[in-house]
Chains A and B, each alone.
Chain A
Amino acid sequence: MTSTRVEPQPSALAGGASGSVRRRRAYRQERNGPFFWVGIVILALIFVIPLLWMFLTSFRTVEDSRRIPISLIPDQLTLRAYKLLFADEQNPVFTWALNSLMAAVGHAVLVLVVASMAAFALARMKFPGQKVIFGIIIATMFVPGFIFLMPNYLMMDRLGWLDTLIALIVPGAAGAFGVFFLRQFFLAIPRELEESARVDGANSWQIFTRIILPISKPGLVTLGVLAFLGNWNDFIWPIFVLFSPERLTLPAGLSTLQGAYNIDYPVIMAGASVAAIPVLILYVFVQRYVIEGVATSGLKG
């Protein structure tokens, strides 16, 4: 799997995850004692139980979710919460899910297109002003995002993008992370590949689309998933730029739901499950990429 390996970023992980480490031979790992196993089991429970509880509660009746003392085993399972949720015109969960999906896919695609083009120029070409441009891009990564909240809100107002999905798709694509991430990937591609294509008469666009992009698929998938997840889960921006009930995304809708169904935990947990299940499923499939993406370039937090 060497091809999926991203070069560790010098600033973030200097001296960190370099080289491939083969575990085996010599120095024997210590045996895992009973304390270790107890620790691991407790750890696993701490991470699994809350999520299981969320799913389980979403199939309970209101009375069951508010019983004292708590009944761990539900007396009956019902789809009531989901039925209520999908029929509620004030809180159109299905529309929210669709909005979330469109925004997240749109955002991920835009990030991939724009960032890969910029990263290609920065990684594979030499031109005047290159260092300055790259410097500016990197510098923007160190500015806290909240200072853009107010000015970008005003910007959305001027552009007429308030209360639209475009407001969720476009501004975030200006983030530097994608460019930085893909540039690292593109830098690792051997020069000979490109030179031979040039000799064969390929122009820059052809080199970009036929050589660079296809061999960078793992990097593109990783970035695409991270961009999708980031957008799907974004909370602070959507709750302020979206107002109409039918325009909300799932995270923004969840806070409305919490207000509307104050005491009806099954409905709120059903809403949370609807928001959680797609990303958990996606995560199961691309887990390796996500973890690797974070590990090698964990600059997002």
Chain B
Amino acid sequence: MSATATTARTKVDPAVDRPAGRLRVHAWFTPYLFLLPYLALLTTFVLVPAVFGIWVSLHDWDFMLPNKPFIGLQNYVDLFTPDSVTFPEFWNGMKATAIFTVASVPFLVLIPLGIALMLNRVFPARSLLRAMIFAPFVLGIAVVGVLFRYLLDSQFGLINWFLGLFGIPPVGWTQTQPWAWVALVGMTVWWTLGFNAVIYLAGLQGIPRDQYEAAAIDGAGSFARFINVTLPGLRNILVFIITTTVLASANMFGQAYLVTNGGPGDSTRTAIMVMTQEGLRAFKMGSATAMSYLLAICLAVVSVINFMVLREREGGK
């Protein structure tokens, strides 16, 4: 890049070089023309749907029926009325989503950090290992889902076979609780851990070497260096990882859809499963959109709280 820059610069004829002032660069409408295709897509598939969704949620919008009467906030009121049709399913889904999020986030924050610390050391085949750990993430949930369904099979699954080597009797991973949650959290960690680990690695490489050198000279052991140099250096990365991981976990769908099918009972039917069932299988778009907006509001609140808590801690130090 720098090579190109120098050759290009030598081409400039000093006589034509403008004094300080800006070149008459482009017509006023040029930037808008460049933006037009993207803005057209953004308007059609993001801005309009976001508003249209609110409109839909205010109606008894059954996709299959010609009449879609306006019912105001009724869909939202129903979600807070214990004897409505949507109430039990929706809150069951919210509970499942909350359980999954609370159970998975600590692992997805801590394990990748440990792995990033290992991978940040210098050893042969380091990049191969990095590539291996990150590989599952490029696979997508459909492949990972059907693969784990087989690995977790209570009779023919590799995982129970392996546990059997230690004398552990077969576990009904998809049929019993709390094992279904253990299985879903475990496979999610396996699948997405590399993503967070790579972000941590980028952060670790941004911590200046001399800070470690200084700490070492002051006699800090490796644990002290971790607490006093590594963790403070990763603060922003941690905030980022916690926030994105919470949001990703709250979006859980494919794992439960493919591996446990929402079971046992309805215990792993997440909020997204409930709303897609309501809107895209039963075609009751009105109540389904109301659910999705309510979940979005809950997530926004969680994000704000999360942000404030992490901010506070930062200010306190």
**On chain B, which size bracket covers the interface?**
35 or more
Task: Identify 14 new A-B residue pairs, CB closer than 8 A, beyond the known A145-B251, A272-B142, A299-B244.
Answer: A16-B206, A27-B210, A27-B216, A43-B115, A118-B34, A147-B53, A148-B45, A170-B41, A179-B38, A192-B8, A208-B34, A257-B146, A269-B146, A269-B147
B236 near A150: Cβ-Cβ < 8 Å: no
The reply to whether the CB of A95 lies closer than 8 angstroms to some CB of chain B is no
CB of A11, distance to nearest CB on chain B (Å): 9
- Whether A164 sits at the interface, judged by CB under 8 Å, is no
Chain B residues positioned under 8 Å from A13 (CB to CB): 199, 202-203, 206, 236-237, 240
Q: How far is the CB of B18 from chain A (nearest CB, A)?
A: 8
How far is A21 from B120 in the complex, measured between Cα atoms in Å? 12
Across the interface, name the chain B residue whose C-beta is closest to A251: B142
Kindly supply a per-residue 1/0 record for chain A positions 139-162, scoring 1 wherever the CB is within 8 Å of any chain B CB and 0 otherwise: 010011111111111110100000
Q: By DSSP majority rule, is chain A's interface helix, strand, loop, or mixed?
A: helix
Q: Is B263 an interface residue (CB 8 A)?
A: no
Please state if B130 and A291 are interface contacts (CB–CB under 8 Å): yes
CB closest chain-A residue, reference B280: A240
Which residues of B come within 8 Å of A, CB atoms? 1-2, 4-5, 8-9, 11-13, 16-17, 23, 25-26, 28, 30-32, 34-35, 37-39, 41-42, 44-50, 52-53, 56, 63, 115, 118, 121-123, 129-136, 138-143, 145-151, 153, 155-156, 158, 161, 164, 190, 192, 195, 198-199, 201-203, 205-206, 208-210, 212-213, 216, 222, 233, 235-237, 240, 244-245, 247-248, 250-251, 253-254, 257-258, 272, 275-276, 279-280, 285, 288-289, 292-293, 295-296, 299
In the complex the two chains form, is B44's CB within 8 Å of A50's CB? no
Bound form: Cα–Cα A137–B46 in Å = 10
Cα distance A40–B117 in the bound complex, in angstroms: 12
- In the bound complex, residues from chain A placing their C-beta under 8 Å from that of B2 are 2
**Given contacts A118-B35, A146-B275, A258-B149, are A50 and B118 in contact (CB under 8 A)?**
no
Question: Measuring CB to CB, which residues of chain A are less than 8 angstroms from any residue of chain B?
Answer: 2-3, 8, 12-19, 21, 23, 25-27, 29-30, 32, 36, 39-40, 43-44, 46-51, 53-54, 57, 65-70, 113-115, 117-118, 120-122, 125, 127, 130, 133, 136-137, 140, 143-155, 157, 170-171, 173-174, 176, 179, 189-190, 192-193, 195-200, 203-204, 208, 215, 229, 232-236, 240, 250-252, 254-255, 257-258, 265, 268-269, 271-272, 275-276, 279-280, 282-284, 287, 290-291, 294-296, 298-299, 301
Partner of B49, one of A151, A204, A235, A276: A151
Residues of chain B contacted by A68 (CB below 8 angstroms): 155-156
30 sample A-B contacts, Cβ–Cβ < 8 Å, listed by A number: A12-B240, A13-B237, A27-B213, A27-B216, A32-B121, A40-B118, A43-B118, A50-B136, A57-B150, A143-B296, A146-B272, A150-B280, A152-B49, A155-B48, A157-B63, A174-B38, A192-B5, A195-B12, A196-B9, A204-B25, A204-B30, A251-B143, A257-B146, A265-B153, A268-B150, A272-B147, A275-B140, A294-B198, A301-B245, A301-B247
